[in-house]
């Protein structure tokens, strides 16, 4: 789960990481009021859940009330990488002497939290990561040791050459690590962490992702969530016991088991089709689950045909077939549906589906992929 810059900075403030004075606004008038309450100049910043706002024109430096309001007028409603700007953050601007990058991320290779620091912070960090990866210092953090201050200071002695700056930056890093662990983050970045002209170290931006697997431990995060429409569907699906991820293809997939769902998507691609989604309905034959799952597929305007791919292990194919028949009795399905049943009691299952008008039966995964792609062409 991603949160906005202003929310990340509120967390920073809780952990005593220095930030600029800030106001969150949703209208041009509020930006005028915010300007009056802050010391000029101020920065007006789009709050959207993607990076690169600066380059997209979503960040404006302003010196007068009129300029700030004009910037707000321009940025509100702006489209940044497909997201509409609905909120602004107005911050007291600082004079920047140096921008550095710091971040923590869950690293699968080392099975630990990875600390990343670079002297080349700012809007070009992605470019640095691509062309000069050696300029990003990476240190895996031993979970039993954590991040002691001396380790943090050692890192910053490599990128800063002033004792006071090193101490301030190290203090921030130790607090950021504490936040990262206590708040169950999967990513916590400050880019840029700036050294100001008067030698202060301040977090100028924040990027925080919470680990979705830990959300149950933090019911308070619910109020911070700002989901896109597609993400809302995915969250609702999770509550209904389905794993659903929307994609942009034409073939809707409904599968029991995550591995089989991945294999099904591969198979569709192999035969020249494009999957519209990942959808794992889990190991039950409950007709209600099938109905819910079909709703997601049918509500997606891109879906031209559906492939149901079931492998009966503990779940028996005849049970699944009964569930499907029951579900299709209750729904109006107007697009072709191909079904492949395999595994425990597959013969009985197919026998049950034999007379169904809605379902096109397939013998194998390859056969099913070919049939569903063909059917989609004729819609
Ligand atoms: P991003 O583009 O989404 O990463 O947004 P940031 O908050 O990181 O801002 C992008 C860039 O705008 C920063 O790297 C700074 O160079 C500049 N910037 C942001 N806030 C200030 C500020 O208060 N003062 C100055 N001088 N520059 C700022
Ligand atoms: Mn940034």
Please, which residues have CB within 8 angstroms of residue 99's CB and are 6 or more apart in sequence? 121, 122, 191, 192, 193, 194, 204
Confidence label for 324 from pLDDT (cuts 50, 70 and 90): confident
Whole-angstrom distance, CA of residue 95 vs CA of residue 74: 24
Of 68, 195, 205, 206, best ligand 1 pocket probe by most atoms within 8 Å of the beta carbon: 205
- Which region among 53-67, 131-145, 165-179, 343-357 has the lowest average model confidence (pLDDT)? 343-357
| Residue 333 scores a pLDDT above 90 | no
- pLDDT at site 282: 86
Residues forming CATH 3.30.1490.20 domain(s) in the chain: 21-92
Across 253-258, average pLDDT: 94
| Residue 372 scores a pLDDT above 80 | yes
Q: Are strands 359-362 and 337-343 parallel, antiparallel or unpaired?
A: parallel
Q: Is the dihedral of CA 180, 181, 185, 186 positive or negative?
A: positive
The mean pLDDT of the chain is 94
Closest-CA residue to 58 (of 70, 69, 47): 47
229-377 homologous superfamily: Succinyl-CoA synthetase domains (3.40.50.261)
DSSP-derived secondary structure for 215-255: GGG-GGGGGG----HHHHHHHHHHHTT-EEEE-S-SEEEEE
- pLDDT at site 332: 86
pLDDT of 12-31, one tens digit each?
Answer: 999 999 999 999 999 999 99
- pLDDT at site 329: 87
91 phi/psi in degrees, rounded to 5: -120, 145
Q: What count of residues does the chain have? A: 379
pLDDT of 282-293, one tens digit each?
Answer: 877 778 888 899
Query: Residue written as tokens 């006071």?
Result: 164
Tokens at 321, concatenated: 């077939």
Q: Which ligand is nearest to the CA of 190?
A: 2
- pLDDT at site 320: 85
End-to-end CA distance of the chain: 37
- The residue that leads in pLDDT, 326 or 94, is 94
Cβ 319 under 6 angstroms from ligand 1 = no
Across 231-235, average pLDDT: 88
pLDDT of 45-92, one tens digit each?
Answer: 999 999 999 999 999 999 999 999 999 999 999 999 989 999 999 999
Across 338-345, average pLDDT: 94
Residues forming CATH 3.40.50.261 domain(s) in the chain: 229-377
Please, which residues have CB within 8 angstroms of residue 212's CB and are 6 or more apart in sequence? 1, 186
pLDDT of 108-141, one tens digit each?
Answer: 999 999 999 999 999 899 999 999 999 999 999 9
- Residue 146 gets the label, from left (phi > 0), alpha (psi -120 to 50) or beta, of left
68 phi/psi in degrees, rounded to 5: -60, -45
For residue 109, the CA-to-ligand 2 centroid distance in Å is: 26
Please list the alpha-helical segments (H only) found in the chain.
5-14, 28-37, 65-75, 125-131, 149-157, 163-182, 229-239, 258-270, 287-299, 317-330, 346-353, 365-377
- Counting from 1 in the atom list of ligand 1, the atom nearest the Cα of 56 is 2
**Are 93 and 43 contacting, i.e. CB atoms less than 8 angstroms apart?**
yes
| Residue 227 scores a pLDDT above 90 | no
- pLDDT at site 358: 81
- pLDDT at site 323: 85
Whole-angstrom distance, CA of residue 265 vs CA of residue 142: 38
Which range, 176-180, 312-316, 355-359, has the best average confidence (pLDDT)?
Answer: 176-180
pLDDT of 97-114, one tens digit each?
Answer: 999 999 999 999 999 999
For residue 219, the CA-to-ligand 2 centroid distance in Å is: 28
**Are 262 and 316 contacting, i.e. CB atoms less than 8 angstroms apart?**
no
- pLDDT at site 283: 76
Cβ 96 under 6 angstroms from ligand 1 = yes
Confidence label for 246 from pLDDT (cuts 50, 70 and 90): very high
**Are 185 and 152 contacting, i.e. CB atoms less than 8 angstroms apart?**
no
Closest-CA residue to 66 (of 95, 92, 29, 24): 29
For residue 98, the CA-to-ligand 1 centroid distance in Å is: 12
Whole-angstrom distance, CA of residue 15 vs CA of residue 163: 23
Cβ 122 under 6 angstroms from ligand 1 = yes
Q: Which residues surround ligand 2, an ion (CB under 5 A)?
A: 191, 205
Tokens at 126, concatenated: 């992605």
- pLDDT at site 255: 94
Q: What radius of gyration do the chain's Cα atoms show?
A: 26
pLDDT of 264-310, one tens digit each?
Answer: 999 999 999 999 999 999 877 778 888 899 899 999 999 999 999 99
What CATH number labels 96-222? 3.30.470.20
Cβ 371 under 6 angstroms from ligand 1 = no
Give domain 21-92's CATH number out of 3.40.50.300, 3.30.1330.40, 3.50.40.10, 3.30.1490.20: 3.30.1490.20
- pLDDT at site 330: 87
Residues forming CATH 3.30.470.20 domain(s) in the chain: 96-222
- DSSP lists the bridge partners of residue 317 as none
Whole-angstrom distance, CA of residue 215 vs CA of residue 221: 7
Tokens at 325, concatenated: 């028949």
Closest-CA residue to 205 (of 354, 12, 373): 12
Cis peptide before 120 (omega within 30 of 0): no
Q: Which ligand is nearest to the CA of 56?
A: 1
Whole-angstrom distance, CA of residue 363 vs CA of residue 357: 17
């Amino acid at each position: 789960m991603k949160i906005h810059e202003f929310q990340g900075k509120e967390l920073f403030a809780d952990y005593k990481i220095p930030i600029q004075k800030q106001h969150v606004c949703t209208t041009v008038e509020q930006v005028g009021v915010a300007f009056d309450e802050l010391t000029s100049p101020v920065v007006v910043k789009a709050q959207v859940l993607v990076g690169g706002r600066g380059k997209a024109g979503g960040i404006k430096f302003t010196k007068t009330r009129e300029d700030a309001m004009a910037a707000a007028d321009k940025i509100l409603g702006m489209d940044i990488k497909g997201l509409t700007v609905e909120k602004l953050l107005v911050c007291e601007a600082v004079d920047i002497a140096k921008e550095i990058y710091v971040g923590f991320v869950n690293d699968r290779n080392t099975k630990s939290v990875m600390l990343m620091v670079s002297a080349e912070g700012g809007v070009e960090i992605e470019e640095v990561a691509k062309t000069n990866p050696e300029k990003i210092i990476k240190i895996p953090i031993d979970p039993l040791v954590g991040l002691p201050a001396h380790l943090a200071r050692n890192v910053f002695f490599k990128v800063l050459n002033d004792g006071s700056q090193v101490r301030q930056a190290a203090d921030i890093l130790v607090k950021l690590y504490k936040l990262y662990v206590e708040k169950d983050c999967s990513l916590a970045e400050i880019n840029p962490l700036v050294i100001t002209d008067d030698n202060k170290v301040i977090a100028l931006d924040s990027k925080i992702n919470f680990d979705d697997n830990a959300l149950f431990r933090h019911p308070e995060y619910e109020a911070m969530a700002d989901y896109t429409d597609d993400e809302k569907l995915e969250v609702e699906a999770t509550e209904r016991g389905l794993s659903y991820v929307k994609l942009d293809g034409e073939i809707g997939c409904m599968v029991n088991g995550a591995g089989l769902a991945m294999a099904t998507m591969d198979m569709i691609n192999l035969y020249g089709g494009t999957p519209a989604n990942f959808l794992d309905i889990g190991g039950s034959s409950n007709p209600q689950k099938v109905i819910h799952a079909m709703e997601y597929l049918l509500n997606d305007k891109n879906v031209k045909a559906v492939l149901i791919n079931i492998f009966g292990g503990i779940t028996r194919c005849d049970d699944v077939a009964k569930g499907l028949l029951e579900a299709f009795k209750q729904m109006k399905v107007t697009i072709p549906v191909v079904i492949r049943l395999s595994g425990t009691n597959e013969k009985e299952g197919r026998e049950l589906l034999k007379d169904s008008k809605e379902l096109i039966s397939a013998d194998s995964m390859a056969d099913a992929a070919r049939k569903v792609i063909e059917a989609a062409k004729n819609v």
